[in-house]
């Protein structure tokens, strides 16, 4: 088990390396010459040459690449072209607002998705099952930003219960109040994914022989469902948890735009629109790192939850 965890942790390194390389070369392909990108098209050849020298762009690409990786490792992504402030500083200022959305979104998604998935699987083809499947299908098909717009129209514009521009207010309740609608729009979409996964996984487990045995030996149905079936059914759900978190994180890019809310997503999209390459580079790296770390954590958790997994 220890070896398994160690191996999973070690595997983060090559993964981040591949992602880092991808980001570096994509950005180079996009920006072309960072010096030109920084000074603009009207700059003279001399000033570009001077900046290239300063930025170390005359050195071989391999050296620059190695330096980028080393700096990234230290959390140094250079300075933003637009504001001149360090990229890392801007990212870490925006990060908590996004994490807040992801946390509440995942919580809402799990609290709604898991119970409805169970109900749907335990009573397949019942009205409840049918209803929850239709709603889940709708949730899957509705882009998260559209759901956000509808919530905004109903609860902020018509009923006035929530602010239209959800800038976080000081204090726990202020933050929660501002985060509620964006989190709900993310969480409901998330619930659709989770509900479908729980349902199909539980349905499959309920057909296993050991479930029939449990029923036959007189175990009460609720105990069969929750003790015998659910535990096994949740294993595959946990494996895709990392994947769900990734989509949720990507969803915040859109949700933050709809609700005019500060955060990583808004920062990244703004950087893309302004062609602020160091900021884009840093933002993408942080997203990648979060996803890789979460996936590794889920893998390790999976090892604990599923005793049949081989550790060698």
Partner 1 sequence: MASAGVPRPAPEGGDSQSGPPSRSVSATRSGSSRLAAFWNARWMRRFRRDRMAMAGLVCVALLVLAAVFAPWLAPYDPAEQHIIYRLRGPSEMFRLGTDEFGRDVLSRLIYGSRASLAVGLLSVLLAGVGGTIIGGISGYVGGRVDQVISNVVNILMSFPSLLLGLMVVVALGPGTTNVVIAVALSLLPNFIRLARGPVLALREREFVQACRALGASQTRIVVRHILPNILGPVSVMSTLWIATAIRTEASLSFLGLGVQPPTPSWGHMIRSGVNNILSNPWLAIFSGLALTVTVLAFNVIGDGLRDALDPKERS
Binding residues for partner 1, per CB under 8 A?
A: 15, 18-19, 22-23, 26-27, 29-30, 137-138, 140-143, 145-146, 149-150, 152-153, 157, 196, 199-200, 203-204, 242-243, 246-247, 249-251, 253-254, 257-258, 268-269, 272-273, 280, 284, 287-288, 291-292, 295
Choice between 146 and 219, CB closer to partner 1: 146
> What minimum distance in Å lies between the beta carbon of 18 and partner 1?
6
Instruction: Please state the φ and ψ torsions of residue 79, each to the nearest 5 degrees.
Output: -110, 150
Choice between 140 and 223, CB closer to partner 1: 140
- The Cα 36–Cα 270 span in angstroms is 20
- The Cα 135–Cα 30 span in angstroms is 41
Choice between 90 and 201, CB closer to partner 1: 201
Choice between 18 and 309, CB closer to partner 1: 18
> What minimum distance in Å lies between the beta carbon of 272 and partner 1?
6
> What minimum distance in Å lies between the beta carbon of 145 and partner 1?
6
CA within 13 Å, CB half, 267: 26
- CB crowding 175-190: b at 16 or more within 10 Å, else e: bebbbbbbbbbbbbbb
Residue 305, CA distances (Å) to 109, 199, 233 in order: 21, 19, 11
> What minimum distance in Å lies between the beta carbon of 174 and partner 1?
23
Choice between 8 and 50, CB closer to partner 1: 8
> What minimum distance in Å lies between the beta carbon of 116 and partner 1?
14
Strand, helix or coil for residue 208: coil
> What minimum distance in Å lies between the beta carbon of 246 and partner 1?
5
For the record, the structure tokens of 51 come out as 């900046």
Choice between 28 and 50, CB closer to partner 1: 28
Instruction: Please state the φ and ψ torsions of residue 169, each to the nearest 5 degrees.
Output: -95, 155
From the CB of residue 243, how many other CB atoms can be counted at a distance below 10 Å?
Answer: 15
> What minimum distance in Å lies between the beta carbon of 131 and partner 1?
14
The DSSP secondary-structure symbol of 79 reads B
- In terms of phi and psi (left: phi > 0; alpha: psi -120 to 50; beta: otherwise), the region of 65 is alpha
> What minimum distance in Å lies between the beta carbon of 81 and partner 1?
14
- Quote the Cα angle for 122-123-128, to 5°: 120
- The Cα 169–Cα 258 span in angstroms is 18
The number of residues making up the chain comes to 312
Q: Are 79 and 157 in contact (CB under 8 A)?
A: no
> What minimum distance in Å lies between the beta carbon of 280 and partner 1?
6
Strand, helix or coil for residue 170: coil
Choice between 13 and 47, CB closer to partner 1: 13
Choice between 66 and 153, CB closer to partner 1: 153
Choice between 124 and 219, CB closer to partner 1: 124
């Amino acid at each position: 088990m220890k070896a398994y965890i160690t191996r999973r942790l070690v595997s983060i390194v090559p993964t981040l390396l591949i992602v880092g390389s991808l980001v570096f070369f994509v950005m180079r392909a996009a920006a072309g010459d960072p010096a030109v990108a920084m000074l603009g098209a009207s700059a003279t050849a001399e000033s570009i040459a001077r900046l290239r020298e300063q930025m170390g762009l005359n050195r071989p690409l391999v050296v620059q690449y190695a330096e980028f990786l080393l700096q990234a490792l230290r959390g140094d992504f250079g300075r933003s072209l637009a504001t001149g402030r360090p990229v890392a500083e801007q990212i870490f200022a925006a990060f908590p607002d996004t994490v807040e959305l992801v946390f509440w979104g995942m919580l809402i998604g799990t609290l709604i998705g898991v119970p409805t998935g169970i109900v749907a699987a335990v009573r397949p083809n019942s009205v409840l099952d049918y209803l929850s499947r239709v709603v889940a299908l709708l949730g899957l098909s509705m882009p998260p930003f559209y759901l956000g717009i509808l919530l905004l129209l109903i609860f902020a514009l018509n009923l006035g219960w929530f602010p239209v521009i959800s800038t976080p207010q000081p204090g726990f309740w202020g933050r929660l109040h501002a985060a509620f609608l964006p989190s709900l729009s993310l969480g409901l979409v998330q619930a659709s994914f989770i509900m479908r996964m729980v349902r199909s996984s539980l349905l499959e487990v309920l057909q296993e022989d050991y479930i029939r045995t449990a029923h036959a030996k007189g175990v009460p149905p609720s105990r069969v469902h929750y003790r015998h079936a659910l535990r096994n059914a949740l294993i595959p759900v946990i494996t895709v948890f990392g994947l769900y978190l990734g989509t949720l994180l990507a969803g915040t890019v859109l949700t933050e735009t709809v609700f005019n809310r500060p955060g990583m997503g808004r920062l990244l999209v703004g950087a893309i629109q302004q062609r602020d390459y160091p900021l884009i580079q840093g933002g993408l790296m942080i997203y990648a790192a979060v996803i890789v770390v979460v996936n590794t954590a889920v893998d390790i958790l999976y090892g604990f939850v599923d005793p049949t997994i081989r550790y060698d």
